[in-house]
Chains A and B, each alone.
Chain A
Amino acid sequence: MSIPRVLNKRNRILLSELTRTDFKLRYQGSVLGYLWALLRPLMMFAILYIVFAKLLRFGNDIPHYPVYLLAGTTIWSFFTECTSQGIQAMLTRGDLIRKISFPKYIVVVSSTMTAVINLLINLVVIVIFALINGVTPSFTWLLVPFSLLELYALSLGISFLLGAINVKYRDVMSIWDVCIQALFYAVPIIYPVTMIANTSQLAAKVILLNPIAQVIQDVRHNLVTVESITTWNYLSNPVAMIVPIIITVAVLALGAVYFRGASKFFAEEI
């Protein structure tokens, strides 16, 4: 399938119309409406901040720790929202798949778009937070979108792969929920990497091979404080450094290929 066909006029219209519908329906019937897109991650941040920064005294040695934490939780929320919506997409849009012929990847992409929009809104909040907290604006801020793009590619790859399997075996979603819980602790969101590095340098290095950890640390490094440990400044082996990128590309490629093959039978199996 060539690029012009993938993004032809009909597919673009369908993508934008489905995205708009999803976004409109997400906060239907709630008083605060779209405001929840902002409030939810901020509330999650507030809980984590009180528990970990105030009670457990994490991150005392990190400058601008609240912003540092907020960047982490926001990116994590994006990843979980993106993947869980993406994996479920085939089932929630089953009625369309059974009755109309169209490229199925549109359903996956459109269902992740709400998460993308929420991320963009929250990014504005992070920037405002950072400025209030006294972070000096820097040209490295311009690198942040590339890191987020990498994470989106990973999320799409996971959504394609697990979403396609989920059509046949609904257990996938339950398994993924558990994986998300485990990943939350395997990624340095609430704890600073230095905490791990102080006990075991090897463990810190292994953690930084995870693309999610790499993206979160990159964003923190480029947006909040240059004192953040990243995959690039902590790992010395150049081969190890590109492992997160390799994982991302591999997951996206595998997901896309598997999805393309399996999608021919979605209409029969859903």
Chain B
Amino acid sequence: MAKRKIGTRREVRNDSEYAIEVEHLNKSFRLPTERAWGLKQAIFNRIRGIKGYKDQKVLRDLNFKVKKGEFLGIVGRNGSGKSTLLKILAGIYYPEKGTITVNGSLVPFIELGVGFNPELTGRENVFLNGALLGFSNKEMAEMYDDIWKFAELEQFQDQKLKNYSSGMQVRLAFSIAIRAKGDILILDEVLAVGDAAFQQKCNEYFASLKGNQTVILVTHSMENVKRFCDRAIMIEDGKIVHDGEPEVVAKEYMSLFK
């Protein structure tokens, strides 16, 4: 296996004015060319001198900083590299080149309800999900009632998750998510879920975050960008093409599709 280059991702805690600093971030994925998914093909490729994969550049030399307390929106087409960027910030993927500095604790929501298991009860799932987010049973017990109250699902606590409707599952997952207090919140298109009444509740919650919580939000809703964000970044083909006022970036984004 050829050695692959790796950039650095640091976690620090200091009084710097920035919560996240990204310098010269590059990332490419190795995509298998033919079906290189198996031992036979791998040996075959090696004998024939074929690499068996090609490098797909996903992020090219990104540079940006996020201030503490800033609500940053990231927009762009499908496949432009937004989710990859979030995953690198969250430490799920390694940067290929460049430096990332994360200042403070980071709570990522790449997807709601990670680890939810349909065979477990609502109660068990809450504690499992909490553990995955880094909370102890004691901390979870303290937030427990609040979570169910926000989800408005108290009477279903001891039902297995497979008996919940999909809307109920997502409400529960969302309620856990917003209880998770970290210095930096990372959200991938998970703003408003559930029916109209519940969405209203979610929106009020996000409005309350503005100004006192560092949030990085990936979204396709320009309405949300304009409503919540202090600043927005547009990514196109792995590069930052706009960085600035949410209104301006939202307009640029809309013009992509004209």
Contacts and interface: CB of A to CB of B under 8 A. Distances in A.
Interface of A: 9-10, 13-14, 16-18, 21, 24-25, 28-29, 95-96, 98-102, 168-172, 262, 264-265, 267-268
B50 interface: no
B22 interface: no
Given A21-B117, A267-B92, A14 B132 contact: yes
Interface stretch (B108-116, B205-213, B219-227, B246-254): B108-116
Nearest to B112: A99
Interface in B120-146: 120, 124, 127-128, 131-137
Contacts of B49: none
Listed residue (B30, B93, B133) with the most chain A CB atoms within 10 angstroms of its CB: B93
23 contacts: A9-B136, A14-B134, A17-B127, A17-B128, A17-B132, A18-B128, A21-B117, A21-B120, A21-B124, A24-B120, A24-B124, A25-B120, A28-B119, A95-B115, A100-B90, A100-B110, A100-B114, A168-B42, A170-B38, A171-B39, A267-B87, A268-B29, A268-B30
Given A99-B92, A101-B92, A17 B131 contact: yes
Nearest to B129: A17
Contact of A21 (B37, B111, B128): B128
Interface of B: 1, 4, 6, 29-30, 37-40, 42, 87, 90-94, 108, 110-111, 114-115, 117, 119-120, 124, 127-128, 131-137
A264 B114 contact: no
Contacts of B128: 17-18, 21
Nearest to A101: B91
A99 B113 CA distance: 10
A25 B4 CA distance: 38
A91 B115 CA distance: 13
Given A101-B108, A264-B6, A14 B114 contact: no
A139 to B, nearest CB: 39
A167 to B, nearest CB: 11
Contacts, number: 73
Given A21-B120, A264-B94, A99 B114 contact: yes
> DSSP majority for the B interface?
loop
B37 A170 contact: yes
A16 B40 CA distance: 38
Contacts of A9: 136
Contacts of A21: 117, 120, 124, 128
A171 B108 CA distance: 33
Given A99-B92, A265-B94, A25 B117 contact: yes
Contacts of A102: 132
A97 to B, nearest CB: 8
Contacts of A95: 114-115
A100 B92 contact: yes
Contact of A96 (B6, B132, B134, B137): B132
B38 A171 contact: yes
Given A13-B134, A268-B29, A268-B30, 8 more contacts: A16-B131, A24-B120, A25-B120, A95-B114, A99-B111, A168-B42, A169-B38, A169-B39
A25 B114 CA distance: 17
A74 B96 CA distance: 46
A101 B90 contact: yes
B45 to A, nearest CB: 12
Given A25-B120, A169-B42, A98 B136 contact: no
